[in-house]
Amino acid sequence: MLEKLKTLLDSFNKLGLPLPLIRDPKTGGGSVSLTLVFISSIYVQLALLNSIALIFKGVDVTNALYWHGICVSLYFGRTIRKEKDKVSIGGSEKNDTPSE
């Protein structure tokens, strides 16, 4: 069974089939970081549901929230850039030093 899965994934990889990604509204293209935020949001909701209903074993709310926080910081942190005395956030520039 595992060998069949490996050969299937290898054939997809050789064909160059892309991963299904969530489209970023700013760029219009697929975004890995936004896809991770989407998946981690669903995981947090399942973990919260599990804390009430106890459907799944081993789903921890704390770890789900940590993972979601990391994914959100990855998504929003990708647009913050710092160069010498300027900080660029999503295309706008701000100076670190106060102007006189």
In the chain, where the domains are located: 22-95
Rg (the chain; Cα; Å):
20
pLDDT band at 17 (very low <50, low <70, confident <90, very high): low
Of residues 41 and 54, more confidence is placed in 41
What residues pair up with 87 in beta bridges, in sequence order?
A: 82, 94
Q: What mean pLDDT do residues 68-78 have? A: 88
Please compute the mean of the pLDDT values over residues 63-92 and round it to a whole number. 78
* Residue 7 or residue 86, greater confidence: 7
Distance of alpha carbon 17 from alpha carbon 11, whole angstroms: 9
Place of tokens 């989407």: 38
